[in-house]
Structure 1
Amino acid sequence: MAMQKRFPVQHRDVFPQGAFLRGEVEPVLDFQADKRPDGSRPQQRDKETGELLWQVVVLDADDMAGKKDTVVTVKIAAPVQPVPPANKTPFPWTPIEFVRLTALPYVDDNGNRPRLAWSFRADGVAAPGEAGNTGAKAPEAKAA
Protein backbone atom coordinates (compact mmCIF):
# COMPACT_ATOMS: atom_id res chain seq x y z
CA MET A 1 0.00 0.00 0.00
CA ALA A 2 1.42 3.37 -0.97
CA MET A 3 1.19 6.38 1.32
CA GLN A 4 -0.92 9.20 0.00
CA LYS A 5 0.69 12.63 -0.13
CA ARG A 6 -1.94 14.10 2.20
CA PHE A 7 -3.36 11.77 4.83
CA PRO A 8 -6.14 12.02 7.43
CA VAL A 9 -5.21 12.74 11.04
CA GLN A 10 -7.30 13.07 14.19
CA HIS A 11 -7.61 16.56 15.65
CA ARG A 12 -6.62 15.25 19.10
CA ASP A 13 -3.43 13.71 17.68
CA VAL A 14 -2.27 17.05 16.23
CA PHE A 15 -3.62 19.26 19.03
CA PRO A 16 -3.72 17.01 22.15
CA GLN A 17 -4.26 19.97 24.51
CA GLY A 18 -6.59 21.81 22.15
CA ALA A 19 -6.40 24.53 19.52
CA PHE A 20 -7.52 28.14 19.85
CA LEU A 21 -8.55 30.38 16.96
CA ARG A 22 -6.44 33.53 16.78
CA GLY A 23 -7.99 36.15 14.53
CA GLU A 24 -10.51 35.56 11.79
CA VAL A 25 -11.09 33.17 8.90
CA GLU A 26 -9.32 34.75 5.91
CA PRO A 27 -9.18 33.94 2.20
CA VAL A 28 -5.95 32.42 0.86
CA LEU A 29 -4.71 34.70 -1.91
CA ASP A 30 -3.41 33.17 -5.15
CA PHE A 31 0.00 34.71 -5.81
CA GLN A 32 0.49 32.50 -8.90
CA ALA A 33 -2.50 34.05 -10.69
CA ASP A 34 -2.51 37.40 -12.47
CA LYS A 35 -3.68 40.41 -10.50
CA ARG A 36 -7.19 41.69 -11.13
CA PRO A 37 -7.68 45.07 -12.87
CA ASP A 38 -8.03 46.73 -9.44
CA GLY A 39 -4.64 45.29 -8.36
CA SER A 40 -6.05 42.72 -5.93
CA ARG A 41 -5.29 39.02 -6.03
CA PRO A 42 -7.91 36.32 -6.67
CA GLN A 43 -8.59 33.71 -4.02
CA GLN A 44 -6.76 30.41 -4.31
CA ARG A 45 -8.73 27.24 -5.05
CA ASP A 46 -8.11 23.69 -3.90
CA LYS A 47 -6.36 21.76 -6.69
CA GLU A 48 -8.41 18.59 -6.09
CA THR A 49 -11.92 19.90 -5.40
CA GLY A 50 -11.92 23.39 -6.92
CA GLU A 51 -13.32 24.78 -3.64
CA LEU A 52 -12.16 28.18 -2.39
CA LEU A 53 -9.34 28.08 0.16
CA TRP A 54 -9.61 29.85 3.52
CA GLN A 55 -7.11 29.91 6.36
CA VAL A 56 -7.13 30.22 10.12
CA VAL A 57 -4.29 30.80 12.53
CA VAL A 58 -4.51 28.71 15.68
CA LEU A 59 -2.55 28.55 18.90
CA ASP A 60 -1.52 25.03 19.90
CA ALA A 61 -2.14 24.68 23.64
CA ASP A 62 0.41 21.88 24.02
CA ASP A 63 3.20 23.02 26.38
CA MET A 64 5.52 20.52 24.68
CA ALA A 65 5.11 22.18 21.26
CA GLY A 66 8.29 23.78 19.96
CA LYS A 67 8.61 27.55 19.57
CA LYS A 68 8.01 27.32 15.81
CA ASP A 69 5.01 25.03 16.29
CA THR A 70 2.87 26.99 18.78
CA VAL A 71 1.22 29.04 16.03
CA VAL A 72 -0.15 26.93 13.17
CA THR A 73 -1.98 27.95 10.00
CA VAL A 74 -4.66 25.53 8.80
CA LYS A 75 -6.31 25.85 5.38
CA ILE A 76 -9.98 25.05 4.88
CA ALA A 77 -11.50 24.17 1.50
CA ALA A 78 -15.11 25.42 1.38
CA PRO A 79 -17.45 27.11 -1.12
CA VAL A 80 -18.19 29.95 1.33
CA GLN A 81 -16.27 31.47 4.25
CA PRO A 82 -16.47 29.09 7.24
CA VAL A 83 -18.03 30.50 10.40
CA PRO A 84 -16.17 29.56 13.58
CA PRO A 85 -18.10 28.70 16.75
CA ALA A 86 -18.93 31.46 19.20
CA ASN A 87 -16.33 32.13 21.88
CA LYS A 88 -17.97 31.20 25.19
CA THR A 89 -14.81 31.75 27.21
CA PRO A 90 -13.47 34.88 28.94
CA PHE A 91 -10.31 34.60 26.82
CA PRO A 92 -9.63 36.36 23.49
CA TRP A 93 -9.06 33.04 21.67
CA THR A 94 -11.87 30.71 20.64
CA PRO A 95 -11.42 26.97 21.30
CA ILE A 96 -12.00 25.06 18.05
CA GLU A 97 -11.79 21.58 16.59
CA PHE A 98 -11.14 20.80 12.94
CA VAL A 99 -13.49 18.72 10.80
CA ARG A 100 -11.73 16.06 8.68
CA LEU A 101 -8.20 17.29 9.27
CA THR A 102 -5.43 16.13 6.92
CA ALA A 103 -1.65 16.54 7.07
CA LEU A 104 1.08 16.84 4.46
CA PRO A 105 4.74 16.62 5.53
CA TYR A 106 7.36 18.78 3.83
CA VAL A 107 10.92 19.95 4.40
CA ASP A 108 11.17 23.53 5.69
CA ASP A 109 14.59 24.81 4.63
CA ASN A 110 14.10 28.48 5.57
CA GLY A 111 16.24 28.30 8.71
CA ASN A 112 19.80 27.33 9.61
CA ARG A 113 18.98 23.65 9.17
CA PRO A 114 16.21 21.95 7.20
CA ARG A 115 13.46 20.51 9.40
CA LEU A 116 10.33 18.43 8.93
CA ALA A 117 7.22 20.62 8.90
CA TRP A 118 3.52 19.99 8.32
CA SER A 119 0.84 21.55 6.15
CA PHE A 120 -2.68 21.07 7.52
CA ARG A 121 -6.01 21.20 5.71
CA ALA A 122 -9.55 20.69 7.03
CA ASP A 123 -13.12 20.63 5.77
CA GLY A 124 -14.31 23.01 8.50
CA VAL A 125 -14.18 24.16 12.11
CA ALA A 126 -16.46 23.40 15.04
CA ALA A 127 -16.65 23.82 18.78
CA PRO A 128 -14.58 21.20 20.65
CA GLY A 129 -16.43 17.87 20.72
CA GLU A 130 -18.81 18.90 17.93
CA ALA A 131 -16.69 18.18 14.84
CA GLY A 132 -18.56 14.90 14.30
CA ASN A 133 -21.93 16.71 14.35
CA THR A 134 -21.29 19.15 11.50
CA GLY A 135 -22.82 17.20 8.65
CA ALA A 136 -19.44 17.06 6.93
CA LYS A 137 -18.88 14.50 4.21
CA ALA A 138 -18.02 11.06 5.52
CA PRO A 139 -15.01 9.35 3.97
CA GLU A 140 -15.96 7.13 1.03
CA ALA A 141 -15.85 3.42 1.72
CA LYS A 142 -13.53 1.43 -0.53
CA ALA A 143 -14.80 -1.70 -2.20
CA ALA A 144 -13.02 -4.88 -1.13
Structure 2
Amino acid sequence: MAIQSAIPVSFETYFPQGAYVVGEVEQVMKWSDDGKQQGQDLDKNTGHPMWRVRVFDADPAAKRGQGEVMVKIASISEPQLPPALNGLPFRPVIFEGLAVMPYTPDTPGRSRVAYSLRAREMKAAPKPRGSE
Protein backbone atom coordinates (compact mmCIF):
# COMPACT_ATOMS: atom_id res chain seq x y z
CA MET A 1 0.00 0.00 0.00
CA ALA A 2 1.27 3.50 -0.84
CA ILE A 3 1.92 5.97 1.95
CA GLN A 4 -1.32 7.82 2.65
CA SER A 5 -0.17 10.43 5.16
CA ALA A 6 2.62 12.83 6.03
CA ILE A 7 6.16 11.54 6.41
CA PRO A 8 7.89 13.19 9.38
CA VAL A 9 11.34 14.62 8.63
CA SER A 10 13.64 16.67 10.83
CA PHE A 11 14.33 20.25 9.88
CA GLU A 12 18.08 19.53 9.88
CA THR A 13 17.61 16.65 7.43
CA TYR A 14 15.49 18.62 4.96
CA PHE A 15 17.33 21.95 5.31
CA PRO A 16 20.89 20.99 6.35
CA GLN A 17 22.24 24.46 5.48
CA GLY A 18 19.28 26.31 7.02
CA ALA A 19 16.29 28.11 5.55
CA TYR A 20 14.99 31.65 5.14
CA VAL A 21 11.43 32.91 4.93
CA VAL A 22 10.82 35.64 2.34
CA GLY A 23 7.62 37.62 2.00
CA GLU A 24 4.59 37.45 4.23
CA VAL A 25 2.48 34.75 5.81
CA GLU A 26 -0.46 34.00 3.48
CA GLN A 27 -3.74 32.19 3.95
CA VAL A 28 -4.10 28.91 2.04
CA MET A 29 -7.33 29.32 0.14
CA LYS A 30 -9.86 26.57 -0.56
CA TRP A 31 -11.30 26.33 -4.07
CA SER A 32 -14.39 24.51 -5.35
CA ASP A 33 -14.20 22.12 -8.30
CA ASP A 34 -15.66 24.86 -10.51
CA GLY A 35 -12.88 27.32 -9.54
CA LYS A 36 -14.73 29.44 -6.98
CA GLN A 37 -12.94 30.58 -3.84
CA GLN A 38 -14.48 29.10 -0.68
CA GLY A 39 -12.52 30.88 2.06
CA GLN A 40 -9.48 29.70 3.99
CA ASP A 41 -8.60 26.02 3.79
CA LEU A 42 -8.61 23.97 7.00
CA ASP A 43 -6.24 21.20 8.04
CA LYS A 44 -7.99 17.82 7.73
CA ASN A 45 -6.52 16.50 11.00
CA THR A 46 -6.76 19.48 13.36
CA GLY A 47 -9.44 21.64 11.74
CA HIS A 48 -7.12 24.65 12.15
CA PRO A 49 -6.78 27.27 9.40
CA MET A 50 -3.93 26.69 6.93
CA TRP A 51 -1.18 29.28 6.32
CA ARG A 52 1.85 29.24 4.04
CA VAL A 53 5.23 30.93 3.69
CA ARG A 54 7.82 31.11 0.90
CA VAL A 55 11.08 29.53 1.99
CA PHE A 56 14.53 29.61 0.42
CA ASP A 57 16.75 26.62 1.03
CA ALA A 58 20.21 27.90 2.01
CA ASP A 59 21.94 24.91 0.40
CA PRO A 60 24.18 26.30 -2.39
CA ALA A 61 24.05 22.88 -4.09
CA ALA A 62 20.24 23.04 -4.50
CA LYS A 63 19.34 22.42 -8.13
CA ARG A 64 17.85 25.19 -10.23
CA GLY A 65 14.17 25.55 -9.41
CA GLN A 66 14.48 23.56 -6.18
CA GLY A 67 15.82 26.30 -3.92
CA GLU A 68 12.40 27.79 -3.17
CA VAL A 69 9.54 25.90 -1.56
CA MET A 70 6.27 26.70 0.20
CA VAL A 71 5.73 25.45 3.74
CA LYS A 72 2.18 25.15 5.05
CA ILE A 73 1.39 25.57 8.74
CA ALA A 74 -1.87 24.63 10.48
CA SER A 75 -2.50 27.20 13.21
CA ILE A 76 -5.50 28.73 14.96
CA SER A 77 -3.91 32.18 14.62
CA GLU A 78 -1.67 33.62 11.91
CA PRO A 79 1.94 32.48 12.48
CA GLN A 80 4.34 35.33 13.24
CA LEU A 81 7.39 35.88 11.06
CA PRO A 82 10.80 35.76 12.73
CA PRO A 83 12.80 39.01 12.72
CA ALA A 84 14.45 40.06 9.46
CA LEU A 85 18.19 39.55 9.09
CA ASN A 86 20.09 42.88 9.21
CA GLY A 87 17.17 44.75 7.63
CA LEU A 88 17.04 42.41 4.61
CA PRO A 89 13.87 40.55 3.62
CA PHE A 90 15.51 37.23 4.59
CA ARG A 91 14.35 35.77 7.89
CA PRO A 92 16.30 32.80 9.31
CA VAL A 93 13.77 30.20 10.35
CA ILE A 94 13.33 26.69 11.67
CA PHE A 95 10.22 24.56 11.40
CA GLU A 96 9.12 22.18 14.13
CA GLY A 97 7.04 19.16 13.27
CA LEU A 98 8.16 19.25 9.62
CA ALA A 99 6.57 16.63 7.37
CA VAL A 100 6.57 15.77 3.67
CA MET A 101 3.11 15.20 2.14
CA PRO A 102 3.25 13.13 -1.07
CA TYR A 103 0.47 13.60 -3.63
CA THR A 104 -0.22 13.02 -7.31
CA PRO A 105 -1.03 16.26 -9.15
CA ASP A 106 -3.92 16.34 -11.60
CA THR A 107 -1.81 17.01 -14.66
CA PRO A 108 -3.21 15.46 -17.86
CA GLY A 109 -0.72 13.23 -19.62
CA ARG A 110 1.77 13.18 -16.74
CA SER A 111 1.96 10.73 -13.91
CA ARG A 112 4.37 11.61 -11.15
CA VAL A 113 4.46 11.98 -7.42
CA ALA A 114 4.95 15.48 -6.03
CA TYR A 115 5.12 16.61 -2.43
CA SER A 116 4.34 19.54 -0.22
CA LEU A 117 5.84 20.53 3.11
CA ARG A 118 3.89 21.03 6.30
CA ALA A 119 5.03 22.16 9.71
CA ARG A 120 3.48 22.37 13.14
CA GLU A 121 5.30 25.59 14.05
CA MET A 122 7.62 28.27 12.61
CA LYS A 123 10.31 29.81 14.85
CA ALA A 124 13.26 32.14 14.51
CA ALA A 125 16.49 30.23 13.93
CA PRO A 126 18.96 30.50 16.81
CA LYS A 127 21.92 32.80 16.21
CA PRO A 128 25.15 30.95 15.40
CA ARG A 129 27.77 31.01 18.12
CA GLY A 130 30.07 34.00 17.89
CA SER A 131 27.68 36.02 15.71
CA GLU A 132 26.91 38.66 18.35
Cα deviation, residue 92, structure 1: 2.0
Residue aligning to 1:31: 31
Partner of 2:53: 56
CA contact (8 A) 2:15 2:59 kept: yes
The residue identity in structure 2 corresponding to 1:18 is G
Determine if contact 1:33/1:41 at 8 Å carries over to the other structure: no
Query: Are the structure 2 counterparts of residues 33 and 107 from structure 1 closer, same or farther at C-alpha, using a change threshold of 3 Å?
Result: closer
Q: Structure 2 stretches of 5 or more lacking a match?
A: 128-132
Determine if the alignment matches structure 1 residue 74 to structure 2 residue 85.
Answer: no
Structure 1 residue 109, shift from structure 2 partner: 7.8
Question: CA offsets, 1:64-92, max 9 Å, x none?
Answer: 21222111000000001000211243432
Matches of 2:115 and 2:95, distance apart in 1: 15
CA-atom RMSD in angstroms? 3.0
Conserved in 1, the CA contact under 8 Å of 2:32 and 2:38? no
When residues 62 and 3 of structure 1 are mapped into structure 2, their CA distance, relative to the original with a 3 A threshold, is same
2:5 matched residue in structure 1 = 5
**TM-score normalised over the length of structure 2:** 0.79
Is residue 19 of structure 1 aligned with residue 38 of structure 2? no
Instruction: Give how far 1:128 is off.
Output: 1.3
Paired letter, 1:26: E
Q: 1:33 to 1:77 in 2, by over 3 A?
A: farther
Shift of the 34–46 alpha-carbon distance from structure 1 to 2, 3 Å rule, reads farther
Q: 1:124 aligns with which of 113, 121, 124?
A: 121
The C-alpha deviation readout for 1:60-119, integer Å capped at 9, x for no partner, is 111121222111000000001000211243432111000111112345686x97655321
How many pairs does the alignment contain?
A: 126
Aligned residues with identical type, % of pairs: 38
Tell me, which stretches of 5 or more residues in structure 1 are unaligned? 131-144
- Following TM superposition, by how much is the alpha carbon of 1:34 offset from its aligned partner in structure 2, in angstroms? 8.8
